[in-house]
Structure 1
């Protein structure tokens, strides 16, 4: 049966394979087959030109140059490859580390890489070869050190794209140490372009190492490589060109083979997105007085603020948010896009983007004050006390790792479990989310969207958290799978007494699924009420507008769907008064002067509005046509 066109090898692939195979055979076989002729002097055949007995001629001791070129294959290739591998290993570790270090260490490391790149690599190699001493070992070490900055810059650029992914953030939530983040989540996702760069750098290193030997800084007599053979034949270049050029042709042949290998491998590698720009961090805020602890709470947050610098100014997407969750409670957090829901969750989980700063009066998880802990203590407490389920499981799960690895690494890192015990717990977690243990052998791309989200929930269960932050976990799923996920979270809440902070745009789903609802607008919580009152008992005009914008089966299909009038809140220019005032149908002049405080209306119902709508008003009337 003929091979499909997609699987047919190109001529370039076959040529490259043949060239590499010839080098791989000559490197060990050259000394065995030609070593005797290469080292045996013949004073009767000194400095002869090409002939049938000596196709490349002879040197000043009558030794056969073809035999010496073939014998020098291994001494030329092995040091060059060694130099590339050493330089690549050091450079990749240096550059990729920027994805897992803190902001200050990342800036220092980036500055060091920029400084090293300011010096030409070949000049650095020549200088270091003199410093280390002439010889093969010194030349290899000099080339390795000179190659570090280039690999470091490439790895730094690629790692920056991985640093902002959800799966790395999820790994941080699990509290994995930096070396695990580096080996498991950063390096596997940047390996392909680094491999391509290494193959092409091998040819460059071969030319550079031969150049050092040509200058007398590399391999020393009685040893020899192609560079030294080229130097020995240089004085005959005009009389006998072939004996002088033969080592150079060998260098060209091997370097071309490595370059072609890079071209062949590059044909199957997708291009990666450019790395996002990192904003400049603001100075740390002055510590605020802490509020008293409240017994029985899983999470206690008071007066939470988040600021992010941008080229247009400082954005304050979260301004004074307070919330609390008790064991076994599901609290919904709703609002339009940009209202600060996800950033509130990221601030609680200590996953804010670089440059963002957070201040709070109180932030306690399981009664422990996170501000009073050292960074290591805080990371471990967050890793074992809470879990985050992200909106897009396709990006939150590491595409380079199997599900088994991603479900077991947190158990092994925090509880010291063996590989078998961690695998058993991962299988149990999958069964709890109605997935078979065979999923452990799969990679994320082999699963459906619903299955990936269940794997994310199973990953959260492996650390046995007291708090689960579900950041829009049903947005990308169809209605049937949405219901399955919400029932699954309800069952987990019932079985483990874990509290759930459920973030969603779907106000109808939140009203059905949650116990309490917090409504955010402009970075503020504008209303907090029991979920069973959401449909007909909301008092804030914004909450009523959200409820009215949800269509139902009785809606008039001839009329457009109701929407919240006006433009969303501008975080770059927050108004001093109520943030919803420009869009509020019940606004008064004084509403634009000062933001209203949260006030208690009755048990469990609070609202930040100076003119809350009466309960008797139909929610549909809260929307201006």
Structure 2
């Protein structure tokens, strides 16, 4: 939910005070000046005077009194039209993002078509169909403004829906409606509030315009637009008759803008704190799956992740993670590391799909629809960027304890005590205070520690860490790695650790999987990695490109020439062939075999086969 700051901006205070005064006038005016507004006199079209500050109209009625009395109907119609526009637009925009991909695409195109027509033209069309009158004008303006809300909501929801905290909510099995109300709408409230203020001002102007041309409020009722219409007839003899409603429309619109900007600033906890501080190809043949260890916790066999057009991003990955083991997955960006991990966690983007001969966590079959409670409590996820791991609009306490309370049915007080213990275990200072803070109030290192505490709070069997140290400085990075090692040793939690840094992998993991172009090209023990006993040319190239403190001064690390192939252009054989210094003539056409090594691992490389390699270039 939105939490307002205690000291709103000056613009918000001025806007609220001004609109409150206008609203009070709208409530009281018919009671106080209603008789004067309707009294017919013989003083027709009199100019401004002490008796009539804005003069009189063609029937001798006091213009000021009529302007004040018209306030109630004008504000009521404007509020109703704004409510219709916001409800229809936000409802359509959010419905698009909780629906399936096909409905979403159709909905987005429909919104684009609606937005392409000016709001005034749509309002005129609707008003012409429904006929003249205040009710028709309200519906017309409300419908005309709704596409703006729909487009803004859909665009903002698209950006928020891809964040880590929304993916975590999906992992926990949070229903789409709750994701909408808890994670999407609160994080897009700021621009929607601004649009609401703009809509209020625009609706006021549009309704007044429809009344001005005779399609809005009909006699004997009148609003500011109708008064402006009659006032322009005598603008040269009595300008006050048009000046009154014109000033009322302008002032109310400006005050609405002040309120919208002020609410937006106050609703955003990050800006509010800053303000307070300022004031203060063809798939390769499937490789035989390695023997599954008896103590395997996670088993992945022939995992394939593909786009809707069939292009494979991950092509036939097989491995296992033992209980209490840390398995590192290393490779360049785009090698398929994160997609492999997210396929295990069932958090793949909607546009890709995964298949596997086997994908299970202990007795939990991950290829079948799994109970959200088991997924949310048996698999923990630590994301790459701590700044997007938490919902910025919610306090830390509710987010850290959400899975525990929802799926373990733990009470609020008990969940909070457990969260304090978990934060203490990962060495977060003042844990009780941190639970009451927003994510932006924590440093990057503290946010990442809090994410680790949240991930292990349900005592998961498997912890997936997707490049959890990339966004941190070196000192904090070492602390986070030490925490993960401590959790593994203390609780026996198995981990799948994703990184592009082979040095980090060597420092933390027990076993290493080297990925390139969507496939595992080598598996080896971390001891062999540290001693440089790697066999695949790609792994050796990664090691050579790792910066070292030892060696000749000023000598830069080696680089891996070339670039990985695009997923749709990978060769049927070895994808590393074009960059490999040991390439053989048949490397690009034949899938490399898995050649076992003495340390119990293997490497997929033609050059490692025991037969002579006279054909090498």
Superposed pair shares fold, TM > 0.5: yes
User: Relative to structure 1, is the Cα distance of residues 521 and 43 closer, same or farther in structure 2, using a 3 angstrom cutoff?
Assistant: closer
Q: How does 1:119-130 map to 2 (within 5 A)?
A: 119-129=117-127
- Aligned residue number for residue 456 of structure 2: 461
Aligned length: 581
Assess if the C-alpha contact under 8 Å between 1:425 and 1:462 holds in 2: yes
Aligned in 2, Cα 1:147/1:409: closer, same or farther, shift over 3 Å? farther
Q: 2:380 aligns with which of 364, 383, 387?
A: 387
Tell me the TM-score normalized by structure 2. 0.83
Instruction: Give 1:415-426 correspondences, 5 Å limit.
Output: 415-426=408-419
Q: Is the 8 A contact 2:528 2:599 kept in 1?
A: no
How far 1:314 sits from its partner (Å)? 8.0
**Greater mean deviation of Cα atoms: 149-158 or 205-214:** 205-214
TM-score (norm 1): 0.82
2:488 is aligned with 1:493 = yes
> CA RMSD, aligned part only?
3.7
CA offset digits 1:505-552 (Å, max 9, x no partner) = 332332332221111122211111222222333332322333344455
Deviations 1:75-103 (A, max 9, x none): 21232123213312331232244444432
- Give 3-state SS (helix, strand or coil) of 1:396's partner: coil
Please say if 1:368 is aligned against 2:389: no
Unaligned segments of structure 2, at least 5 residues: 1-6, 269-280, 282-288, 611-617
Partner secondary structure for residue 464 of structure 1: coil
Which residue of the partner structure matches residue 342 of structure 2?
346
Q: How does 1:464-479 map to 2 (within 5 A)?
A: 464-479=459-474
- 1:569 to 2:564 alignment: yes
1:556 aligns with 2:555: no
The offset of 1:444, in angstroms, is 1.9
Give the equivalent residue in structure 2 for 1:410.
403
How far 1:461 moved relative to its partner?
A: 2.0
Deviation (angstroms), 1:54: 1.8
Could you tell me which of 223, 226, 243 is aligned with 2:224?
226
Residue number in structure 2 paired with 1:27: 26
In structure 1, the residue matched to 2:72 is 74
State the shift of 1:456 in Å: 0.8
1:433 is aligned to 426
1:1-400 to structure 2, matched below 5 A, reads: 20=19, 22-39=21-38, 41-45=39-43, 48-59=46-57, 62-129=60-127, 135-233=133-231, 236=234, 240-244=238-242, 246-259=244-257, 297-308=296-307, 316-373=312-369, 377=370, 381-400=374-393
Match of 1:287 in 2: none
Contact 2:19 2:255 in 1 (8 A): yes
Whole-angstrom distance in 1 between the partners of 2:92 and 2:412:
29
Return the match for 1:594 from 590, 595, 604.
590
Q: Distance in 2 between matches of 1:432 and 1:268?
A: 34
Q: Which runs of 5+ in 1 are unaligned?
A: 1-6, 271-281, 283-289, 615-625
8 Å CA contact 2:344–2:366 kept in 1: the answer is: no
Instruction: Describe the superposition over 1:563-582 as per-residue Cα deviations: whole angstroms up to 9, x where unpaired.
Output: 25422321243233222333
Give 1:468 shift: 1.2
Alpha-carbon distance, 1:594 to partner: 0.9
* SS of the residue 2:553 aligns to: coil
Q: Would the alpha carbon gap of residues 443 and 59 (structure 1) be closer, same or farther in structure 2, given more than 3 Å must change?
A: same
Partners in 1 of 2:165 and 2:146 — Cα distance? Answer: 28
What CA deviation, in whole Å up to 9, does each residue of 1:120-161 have, x standing for no partner?
A: 433443454566676544433332222211111122222222
In structure 2, distance between residues paired with 1:441 and 1:137: 47
**2:387 match: secondary structure:** helix
